[in-house]
A and B are shown apart, each in its own frame.
Chain A
Amino acid sequence: MNDSSDNEPVKTKRRDFLGLLLGGGFFAWIIALFYPVVKYLEPPEIEEAKVSNVKIGKVEDMAKDSGKIIKFGNKPVIVIREKTGEYVAFSAVCTHLDCIVQYRKDYGQIYCACHNGRYDLNGRNISGPPPAPLTPFEVKVVKEEVIVHEKEV
């Protein structure tokens, strides 16, 4: 028993080492494979990728005769709830020199503070330097939710 066990420990050590290396290696590899997959399946903070339409909230969230700017993909869009309760939406980029427009309750019009340009609630340029009307967007109300869509041509 003594003479055979002299060689054994060396061989077993090497065998063990290789086995350990392979076992440990595979374990690490499995983790390296599964970690990204598990992380991938966790939903990210920003929930959806939709850009063809944007939900902006419930119908009651916006007061009548008020307006707000929302982000539609990478474009700013102004959404206005008229006195009648109807919603309209337009591109918020002024057609004069690209400033962001706003809704002026006192005028009942869309107003650009840069050079006093004005648009009516149909998006038409009615006063001041803007040379063209604002691009309209469609607003639909589905089950109490207000959704802004690209306007179909």
Chain B
Amino acid sequence: MNNENKKSIKERTYSWLDERFKLSALIDYAKKKSVPKYRETIWYYFGGIALLLFVVQVVTGVLLLMYYQGTENSAYESVKYISTKVSFGWLIRSVHSWSANLMILSAFIHMFSVYFLKSFRKPRELTWYTGFGLLVMAMAFGFSGYLLPWNELAFFATKVGTDIAGQLPVIGEPILKLLRGGEDVSGATLSRFFGFHVAVFPGIFTVLLALHLIFIQRQGMAEPADWKDMPESEKKYIPFFPNFTMRELLIWLIVINILAILAVFFPWELGTKADPFTSAPIGIKPEWYFMFMFQTLKFLPGEILFLTGEFVGIAAFGIAGILWFLVPFWDRRTPSGKRNTIINYAGIFAVIFIIVLTTLGYILD
């Protein structure tokens, strides 16, 4: 008797929603979604991990907002307060900091795996463009969030970072003033970065993310390029619901636990409060995801021909970034099923370059 009642409640809820939102159509559609099963399937998890970590950031970020105060006078003290006086504040804060780094890392891995698997090719160009935008936004989140505890390291890292932005010709000066809210890094900078970090960037990110996800749902998971000429019977798939989802859930549980382990054993430090009048500490360096660019700029000589070394560096990265962004546009070979060795080598070069320069940035103090 009970079973029948339960069933009818479930069924009745379902039909109530279905009449209003055409649920059955959505569910049928969702049932069809599948993930190609082959050697590289493992890379398909990283987008989801990045998404999970973003959700973690939003949740922990909102919790931090309950106690954080974004003014020069009390930012540092409020973060200290969260870390020491608030119940589990240490956990929320460290998770937020670690998750930020892991999110950017998994975004990079996700992007490189998409690049090498050529998933950006037609019809998925827009997915790639929005994805690139999401990566840039993630790094912007990282840069703006890093300043918020208003500690010594963050203060000087922001100073150096905005200095580099100011090196651009013509637009450099106004950009620097816009970022800093003045000539120097000050309380005004903190206010701006806080506004960017909790309002502007989340807004932009959400829009890009929604587009990115809509595109993926609409087009389904990308198949490997060399499946183009394979007969249907030989292609193997994992149904997205529930198989792939359960696998993702398993991985997500592990990722969340890893965050907890990191928060307990490697708590994020606070350091000393920022003081604009002290000199920069020796060995000031940006966060690891900016390190490769920072180290490259350090290696460049002061002047190259008639241009400053820094400008050449920034210009080079800018051009490389634009080329990378436009890869769906200029990759003509993959859509026709051929291997694009130039793209592969460019990608391998990029990965090695980033790894080597990041490592050098830490070894060469």
Contacts and interface: CB of A to CB of B under 8 A. Distances in A.
Do A's and B's CB atoms come within 8 Å in the complex? Answer: yes
Interface of A: 29, 36-37, 39-42, 44-46, 48-53, 73
B170 to A, nearest CB: 37
A51 B74 contact: yes
B87 A49 contact: no
Interface in B79-96: 80-82, 85-89, 91-92
A49 B88 contact: no
Nearest to A46: B85
Nearest to B82: A49
B78 A37 contact: no
Contact of A40 (B69, B74, B87, B253): B87
B77 A41 contact: no
Contacts of A36: 87-88, 91-92
A40 B88 contact: yes
9 contacts: A36-B87, A36-B88, A36-B91, A37-B63, A40-B66, A49-B69, A49-B81, A49-B85, A51-B77
B336 interface: no
Contacts of A73: 77
Nearest to A44: B85
B13 interface: no
Nearest to A53: B73
Contacts of A41: 63, 66
Given A49-B74, A50-B74, A39 B81 contact: no
B67 interface: yes
A40 B77 contact: no
A73 B77 CA distance: 9
Q: B69, B77, B82 — which one has the most chain A CB atoms within 10 A of its CB? A: B77
Contacts of B92: 36-37, 40
